[in-house]
Amino acid sequence: MKMPKNTTKDARLYWLIKSEPHTFSFEDLKSLPKKISTWDGVRNYQARNFMRDHMRKGDLALFYYSSCPKPGVIGVVRITKESYPDPTSWDPKSPYFDPKSAPSSPRWFMVDIQWKEGFPKYVALEAIKKNNKLSGIKLVQKGNRLSIMPIEKEAFAEICRMGGL
């Protein structure tokens, strides 16, 4: 996907980020101090590039549950810190350890996210697929396994509307 570098301050982008609820849930995020967490463990180059090169402080992201009985979007988070090296990548004890990454030459990056708002109504993937307005988004395209993907402003708004915001 071609995307210009987001250099202008007012060009807000919208995102969808995936998490497995049994690994890190939306409630887990909400329970943290200031409701902020690092978004570490991203080990896919395309996802990394989106995060590192295009995610900006203040951008909003849909929080999506994957690999669970009912995949879907549960709420909205805000990017509070732009990308910086992911230290779990050089921690041999971390499940995200990558021997090719080092503090002097970090291969992987992370951002900080903050819990913003929970949907009054869970928006299941099933409902997203049935909504004709959302037929073009990457999430529902065949074979797309990206854990971080951009989403059009209009689609972001439509999913929020479905969620009761």
Applying CB under 7 A, the residues found at the interface with DNA are: 18, 43-46, 66-68, 71, 100, 125-126, 129, 142-147
CA 17/CA 61 separation, integer angstroms = 7
Residues forming a β-bridge with 109: 85
CA 105/CA 153 separation, integer angstroms = 34
Q: Find the radius of gyration of the CA atoms of the chain.
A: 16
Shortest reach from residue 9's CB to DNA, in Å:
30
DSSP 55-66: --TT-EEEEEE-
Shortest reach from residue 23's CB to DNA, in Å:
10
| Smaller CB separation from DNA, 44 or 80 | 44
Shortest reach from residue 96's CB to DNA, in Å:
9
| Smaller CB separation from DNA, 12 or 130 | 130
| Smaller CB separation from DNA, 33 or 143 | 143
| Smaller CB separation from DNA, 35 or 85 | 85
Shortest reach from residue 40's CB to DNA, in Å:
13
CA 151/CA 126 separation, integer angstroms = 18
